[in-house]
Amino acid sequence: DTAVSQTPKYLVTQMGNDKSIKCEQNLGHDTMYWYKQDSKKFLKIMFSYNNKELIINETVPNRFSPKSPDKAHLNLHINSLELGDSAVYFCASSLRGPFSGNTIYFGEGSWLTVV
Amino acid sequence: DAKTTQPNSMESNEEEPVHLPCNHSTISGTDYIHWYRQLPSQGPEYVIHGLTSNVNNRMASLAIAEDRKSSTLILHRATLRDAAVYYCILRATMDSNYQLIWGAGTKLIIKP
């Protein structure tokens, strides 16, 4: 069983479109994250939710809107896609919040290409 | 924010030990040192973490300097499957403005 699964794995779309990436974890964790990895391979946290509540919201354009219907799911919706949004987006989860030393479990990533 | 510095890349022969260094001279007393690795086309995976004492697990060992300003991840017997980018990162335990900072990591190349 995949612990953190995200779909789609690959997504090619045109500028200006709206797209969503879905994420689910079956680990029973309280906290979920979205990370962005750019072309230089730097990983940056975008959002973190703990029990469906937003606890970390880094400097991300408001075109990006996370939604957590329950603590096992954290979806990422992106409006008006731009070329610079092309990156790999990783969903992740941890047992407790990011203030603890918990291990973070990552999904396999969603490769987004905006053309 | 405390940051880490790692070499861009390292090479090692298969079945030999590998020592991956990390400098974190601005580490605070509550920062845990975490290591993750990212295999090609996959998400990062946890390797090991520690605070002050050296740590061992089935994947690797972590040697932490006495002043905690540097640490070394040790793979005792590297295999081709260990070829990955290894990230050394710091995680604050009590920080209301928490942010996890990932560097560029060290790309480990294993030669058969």
CB-based burial label for B94 (10 Å; 0-12, 13-18, 19+): exposed
User: Does residue A55 or residue A78 have the better pLDDT?
Assistant: A78
Closest residue by Cα to residue A58 from A47, A43, A67: A47
Q: If pLDDT is split at 50, 70 and 90, which confidence band does A57 have?
A: confident
- Smallest Cβ distance to A108: which of B42, B99, B100? B42
Residue B66 predicted with pLDDT over 90: yes
Q: Is A103 on the interface with B (CB under 8 A)?
A: yes
- Chain A residues near residue B97 by CB distance under 8 angstroms: none
pLDDT at A100: 60
Find the residue in A nearest to B100 (Cα): A45
Contact B98 A99 (CB under 8 A): yes
The SS3 call for residue B81 is: helix
Contact B46 A103 (CB under 8 A): yes
Find the residue in B nearest to A4 (Cα): B43
Residue B101 predicted with pLDDT over 80: no
What percent of chain A shows pLDDT beyond 90?
67
Q: Is A34 on the interface with B (CB under 8 A)?
A: no
Q: Using only C-alpha atoms, what is the Rg of chain B?
A: 14
Report whether the peptide linkage leading into residue B40 is cis, meaning its omega lies within 30 degrees of zero: no
Interface test with B, best of A104, A108, A110 (most B CBs within 10 A): A104
pLDDT in tens, A70-80: 999 999 999 99
Q: The tokens of B105 are what? A: 């990591």
- How far, in whole angstroms, is CA B33 from its chain's centroid? 8
Find the residue in A nearest to B31 (Cα): A101
**CB count, 10 Å around CB of A113?**
13
Q: What is the pLDDT averaged over residues B52-71?
A: 94
Closest residue by Cα to residue B60 from B100, B20, B23, B22: B20
Which segment of A46-60, B1-15, B48-62, B89-103 scores lowest on mean pLDDT? B89-103
pLDDT in tens, B31-47: 889 999 999 989 999 99
Closest residue by Cα to residue A94 from A66, A40, A56, A61: A56
